[in-house]
């Protein structure tokens, strides 16, 4: 899978228990995701230049709930996970530092 422009493929960090309880990672309006793949950056035709992304693969980011579209299950790190497409990297509101969570 090759991602173009500044689009991102992410996996949700929200987890549910067997009983359906949502574990940390989901807020009312935003959800935490990990970037799995990302394009090279946004290409601006009039300038003939690519603006690099501010985020990278592996970053944990907060994204507006509803900005992602499911693209189905794909194998990541040896297990099947549901992945989501984000139209542009500007949808990432913030990058979470190592060990940081939003509750």
Query: Where are the domains positioned within the chain?
Result: 8-96
Q: What is the pLDDT of residues 38-64, one digit of tens each?
A: 999 999 999 999 999 999 999 999 898
Which stretch of 22-26, 39-43, 65-69 has the lowest confidence by average pLDDT?
22-26
Confidence of residue 26 (pLDDT cuts 50, 70, 90): very low
- The single-letter DSSP state of residue 90 is G
Structure tokens at 38: 């990302």
What is the pTM (predicted TM-score) of this model? 0.80
Rg from Cα positions in the chain? 14
Q: Are 2 and 22 in contact (CB under 8 A)?
A: no
Task: State residue 52 phi and psi, 5-degree precision.
Answer: -65, 155
Whether domain 8-96 has CATH 3.30.750.80: the reply is: no
Exposure pattern of 38-67 as b/e (b: 16+ CB <10 Å)?
A: bbeebeeeeeeeeeebebeeebbbbbeeeb
Q: Is the pLDDT confidence value at 27 over 80?
A: no
């Amino acid at each position: 899978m090759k991602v173009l422009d500044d689009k991102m493929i992410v996996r949700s960090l929200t987890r549910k228990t067997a009983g359906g309880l949502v574990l940390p990672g989901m807020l009312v309006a935003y959800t935490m995701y990990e970037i799995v793949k990302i394009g090279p950056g946004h290409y601006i035709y009039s300038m003939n230049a690519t603006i690099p992304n501010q985020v990278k693969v592996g970053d944990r980011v907060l994204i507006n709930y509803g900005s992602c579209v499911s693209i189905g299950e794909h194998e990541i790190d040896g297990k099947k996970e549901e992945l989501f497409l984000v139209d542009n990297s500007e949808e990432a509101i913030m990058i979470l530092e190592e060990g940081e969570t939003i509750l």
